[in-house]
Amino acid sequence: MSWEEEVRELETRRAMAAEMGGPEGIARQRKRGKLTVRERIAAISDPDSFREFMGLTGTGEYDNGKLTRFTPRGLVEGIAKLDGRKVILTAGDFTVRGGSGGIHGGMGLEMRGSQRSLEWRLPYIRLLDAAGGSVRSFEEMGRTYLPDGHAWVQYEVQLLSAVPVVSAVLGSVAGLPAVQAPMSHFSIMVEGMSQIFPGGPPVVKAALGYDITKEELGGDHIHVRESGCVDNLAKSEADAYEQIRAFLSYLPSNVHEAAPRGATDDPIDRCEDSLLSAIPKDRRKTFNARRILRDIVDQDSFFEIAPLYGRARITGLARLNGYPVGIMINNPRFNGSSTDVAAGSKAMRLMQLCDTFHIPLISLVDEPGFMVGLEAEKQGIERAGARMISTVCNSRMPWASIILGRVYGVAGQCHHRPTGMFRRYCWPSSNWGSMHISGGASAAYRSEIEAADDPEAKREEIEARLQALASPFLTAEFTGQDIIDPRETRPLLCEFVEDAQRILTSQLGTPHIPYLP
């Protein structure tokens, strides 16, 4: 006597779950140009590596005790491999009632994916395609309920200080899943397919009385370019999965492990002659920040994060002699390199990422200061500056700054840390101070300038006198700045990152400051 009959029922239930929301739901999904949840899992995972858990969860219909119909929940979870490394994967199934999936739980409930990720110390990936809560559940339950979902969301908050968390927005995402998008270390939308919002157009209409489309309300033009809620934009689902794989390749599986070193044949002592003339002597001209960055890091290793948001600062991950690093550079082609609220937010997220996962940070500096003007004041530039100072001073990861050009004021000091493993090198093109001489002279010598017979000539005379004191070599005589040939930058940074490994080993474990999204 065997259990063949029960195994056949198991196979039947698995087959019913694999049908997702049924032919009509699948057809609607494909009509929108989207993959089904099963196709997505296959697309992002290594072949045949996905092992589902809670796969039999759902709602069954019975006739005299025999299962006749089965509707799975609107979420598929399991363990998969990406490039040979195990991750916890959770994916919304929009074909099942928009991914809301009904209410399931109670005594004996198996561990959710977020808790498994935390306990097993595995990266957590969300493929978001869900409409959030549904009023349909009220009718099913015969009551309403208090919104106290933190009983399980607490694990998702804890994950941010424990393992890499990635969110991909793959459809119209509302409610809690919309908040989960930025509750991550890296997030991505697909062009023309993805939207996020707390409540969609019907909710907006009921609350505010106006009509709006999903794309107008929460498309990538809003959240990748303006709000900064989502980091990157993909051209397709396939592109999104490639970017996710690339991002994870720089990070350890959890905070208790070292970031994986990649193979490289790029010589440590590669010295690019182009760096010698990268910063124009004419201060009115800009420079190509991305080219400088790429001339320093391992060839083809730079992965940019949030390229369309906070564009006065370029941030991302790269490698130096194979070791992962976080790297950022001021971009003079936007806001003249000045750090506004958006650029500062982006820089702080990179600092947190490096500190959480014990990765060295490299800062390439041309910092004229925090953004000034009425719009900056409306956005709260002072509070953003206060947060930035706090983030810098609380960080512990090894940090190296290369002063390329300007470094002024409070924003300038945010490229320096007085504690821990910190190293600073300066190019001969550097110039610094509490503020720019041109604007500062007009303020500091105002009475003298106004009293002169020729105020403009007096201002120019004072500025020329001050400019004569602006040589970085004069500063080095007194405070010991290390001024280098720009072509030495890569070898020196490779040496710094190699030396940083012994410090990073001692820092492995839970970060001393929780990661905040």
Domain with residue 233: its CATH number is: 3.90.226.10
Tens of pLDDT, residue by residue over 252-270, are: 999 999 999 999 999 999 9
Distance between CA atoms of residues 405 and 367, nearest Å: 8
Residue finishing a domain among 184, 213, 248? 248
Task: Please name the residue ranges forming H helices in 327-422.
Answer: 341-356, 374-378, 381-394, 409-413
pLDDT at 469: 63
Question: What is the average pLDDT across 103-122?
Answer: 84
- Does residue 463 lie in a domain region? no
90 or 150, greater pLDDT: 90
Distance between CA atoms of residues 246 and 23, nearest Å: 34
Beta bridge partners of 483: 426
- Specify the 3-state DSSP secondary structure of 263: coil
130 or 468, greater pLDDT: 130
Q: Residue 244: which of 337, 170, 137 has the closest Cα?
A: 170
- How far is C-alpha 334 from the chain's CA centre? 20
pLDDT at 60: 86
**Local structure of residue 183 (DSSP, 8 states):** S
- Residues 371 and 328 both lie in one domain: yes
72 phi/psi in degrees, rounded to 5: -70, 165
The set of residues, in sequence order, having a beta carbon less than 8 Å from that of 198 and lying 6+ positions away, is 174, 175, 178, 179
E strand or H helix at 407:
strand 399-408
- Does residue 262 lie in a domain region? no
pLDDT at 33: 86
Lowest mean pLDDT of 102-111, 364-373, 428-437, 497-506, name the range: 102-111
- Residues 309 and 208 both lie in one domain: no
- Does residue 259 lie in a domain region? no
pLDDT at 144: 72
Domain containing 347 equals 273-427+484-507
Residue finishing a domain among 186, 214, 248? 248
Distance between CA atoms of residues 338 and 381, nearest Å: 11
Distance between CA atoms of residues 160 and 443, nearest Å: 46
| Angular region, 306: left φ>0, alpha ψ -120 to 50, beta rest | left
- Residues 213 and 319 both lie in one domain: no
**Local structure of residue 277 (DSSP, 8 states):** G
Distance between CA atoms of residues 360 and 501, nearest Å: 9
- Residues 244 and 277 both lie in one domain: no
Tokens 């997702």: give the residue. 20
pLDDT at 445: 67
**Single-letter code of the amino acid located at 67:** L
Distance between CA atoms of residues 119 and 126, nearest Å: 17
The set of residues, in sequence order, having a beta carbon less than 8 Å from that of 64 and lying 6+ positions away, is none
**Single-letter code of the amino acid located at 109:** L
Distance between CA atoms of residues 325 and 314, nearest Å: 14
pLDDT at 64: 85
The half-sphere exposure of 207 on its side-chain side, counting CA atoms within 13 A, is 8
- Residues 305 and 230 both lie in one domain: no
Mean pLDDT of the chain: 90
pLDDT at 131: 76
Question: Residue 469 in contact with residue 495, Cβ under 8 Å?
Answer: no
pLDDT at 73: 86
- Across the beta sheet with 165-169, the strand order is 51-53, 75-82, 85-92, 124-128, 165-169, 186-190, 232-234
Question: What is the average pLDDT across 212-225?
Answer: 95
pLDDT at 32: 85
Tens of pLDDT, residue by residue over 163-197, are: 999 999 999 999 888 999 999 999 999 999 999 99
- Residues 336 and 401 both lie in one domain: yes
- Residues 186 and 298 both lie in one domain: no
- Does residue 80 lie in a domain region? yes
- How far is C-alpha 399 from the chain's CA centre? 19
pLDDT at 342: 97
> What does DSSP say about strands 232-234 and 303-305: parallel, antiparallel, or unpaired?
unpaired
392 or 283, greater pLDDT: 392
Tens of pLDDT, residue by residue over 159-168, are: 999 999 999 9
Tokens of 514: 């929780």
- Does residue 513 lie in a domain region? no
pLDDT at 1: 77
**Single-letter code of the amino acid located at 159:** L
- Residues 109 and 185 both lie in one domain: yes
31 or 225, greater pLDDT: 225
- Does residue 189 lie in a domain region? yes
pLDDT band for position 443 (cuts 50, 70, 90) = low
333 or 59, greater pLDDT: 333
Tens of pLDDT, residue by residue over 374-411, are: 999 999 999 999 999 999 999 999 999 999 999 998 99
Given a cut of 70, is residue 103 above it in pLDDT?
no
- Does residue 397 lie in a domain region? yes
Greatest Cα pair distance in the chain: 112
| CA-to-CA dists, residue 26 to 61, 69, 74, 94, 237, angstroms | 21, 17, 13, 9, 17
- Residues 101 and 180 both lie in one domain: yes
pLDDT at 99: 57
Question: What is the average pLDDT across 23-41?
Answer: 88
pLDDT at 59: 84
Distance between CA atoms of residues 316 and 359, nearest Å: 12
Beta bridge partners of 339: 370
E strand or H helix at 494:
helix 489-507
The set of residues, in sequence order, having a beta carbon less than 8 Å from that of 145 and lying 6+ positions away, is none
Overall domain count for the chain: 2
Residue finishing a domain among 248, 283, 306? 248
pLDDT band for position 74 (cuts 50, 70, 90) = confident
E strand or H helix at 198:
none
Beta-carbon neighbour count of residue 380 at 10 Å?
Answer: 12
Q: Residue 303: which of 278, 328, 321, 286 has the closest Cα?
A: 328
- Does residue 459 lie in a domain region? no
- Residues 76 and 225 both lie in one domain: yes
- Residues 376 and 286 both lie in one domain: yes
Query: SS in 3 state form for 41-74?
Result: HHHHCCCCCCEEECCCCEEEEEECCEEEEEEECC
> What does DSSP say about strands 51-53 and 75-82: parallel, antiparallel, or unpaired?
antiparallel
Could you tell me how many residues make up the chain?
517
- Residues 161 and 240 both lie in one domain: yes
The set of residues, in sequence order, having a beta carbon less than 8 Å from that of 305 and lying 6+ positions away, is 186, 231, 232, 247, 315, 316, 317, 346, 349, 350
Q: Residue 399: which of 476, 481, 326 has the closest Cα?
A: 326
Question: What is the average pLDDT across 492-511?
Answer: 97
Given a cut of 60, is residue 78 above it in pLDDT?
yes
